Amino acid sequence: GDSVTQMEGPVTLSEEAFLTINCTYTATGYPSLFWYVQYPGEGLQLLLKATKADDKGSNKGFEATYRKETTSFHLEKGSVQVSDSAVYFCALGFDTNAGKSTFGDGTTLTVKP
Amino acid sequence: GAVVSQHPSWVICKSGTSVKIECRSLDFQATTMFWYRQFPKQSLMLMATSNEGSKATYEQGVEKDKFLINHASLTLSTLTVTSAHPEDSSFYICSAQGTSGFGTDTGELFFGEGSRLTVL
């Protein structure tokens, strides 16, 4: 079956540090890939997405590139802020059955001033 | 963008009582909604798929008589935790699959804010 594996946390960084959260996937077919972010006590919000190979999703300074050859979708940000502290979920989904989206276990990021 | 609202955001109830959580799509029609349960520091566990006008489809291991799901309209799905017990305490999240123009071509999901249930 489909699966998503993301870097275990927690990750603790100082403000303005570079962030990488690794994500790899296995899937049958051609999924879209997503990063969702969950702030404390809230639901998930879409951070960025990519729908096909070599697409780059970007939002709020975060970027991730859909790499089919390495089946990866690593999340990066050049300079993190305290407000980026949250749990980040990598996920894959298909247009025909969004509810069967597969989520990674989540990576908790804490950014210290 | 598509907005999904969930209510209440938190609820405390006594053991044995029933609790209803609502999930609404505010600016689009959601023919399909999903209910998840999230334990502390863990990922989302899909509980069931809610389809407007038909019975929900439950994932293996989820008690359908315990977690009643109703999707009476294109903008509202409800989850009722019946005869709640302390082990039902959790964070419940709903999501919706958008309609044309709202992400249906990519598999994107739109999530509610979540509801934290504490059963005493």
More confident site: B106 or A43 = A43
Q: Which chain A residues are within 8 Å of B42, Cβ to Cβ?
A: 105-106
Q: Which amino acid is at B47?
A: M
pLDDT, position A80: 97
Residue A63 pLDDT: 98
Confidence of residue A108 (pLDDT cuts 50, 70, 90): very high
Share of chain B above pLDDT 90, in %: 62
Check CB contact under 8 Å for A49 and B104.
Answer: no
Residues of chain B with pLDDT under 50: none
Predicted confidence at residue B51, as pLDDT, reads: 86
Mean pLDDT in chain B?
89
In this predicted model, what pLDDT tens digit does every residue of A61-90 receive, in sequence order? 999 999 999 999 999 999 999 999 999 999
In the stretch 13-52 of chain B, residues with CB closer than 8 A to chain A read 32, 34, 41-44, 46, 49
Q: Are A111 and A81 in contact (CB under 8 A)?
A: yes
Q: What percent of chain A has pLDDT over 70?
A: 96
Q: Which of these, B83, B95, B84, B2, lies nearest to B44 by C-alpha position?
A: B95
Structure-model confidence comparison of residues A37 and B42, the more confident one: A37
> What is the nearest CA distance from B15 to chain A, expressed in angstroms?
23
Whether chain B has a CB inside 8 Å of the CB on A8: the answer is no
Q: How many CB pairs under 8 A join A and B?
A: 73
Q: What is the pLDDT of residue B66?
A: 96
Cα A30 from Cα A54, distance rounded (Å)? 13
Looking at residue B65, its pLDDT comes to 95
| Partner-chain contact B42 A106, CB within 8 Å | yes
Partners of residue B4 in chain A, C-beta under 8 Å: 43
Residues A59, A75 contacting (CB under 8 angstroms): no
Contact B111 A104 (CB under 8 A): no
For the cut 80, the answer to whether the pLDDT of residue A6 exceeds it is yes
Kindly determine whether residue B113 and residue A104, on different chains, have CB atoms separated by under 8 Å. no
Q: Are strands B44-51 and B57-58 parallel, antiparallel or unpaired?
A: antiparallel
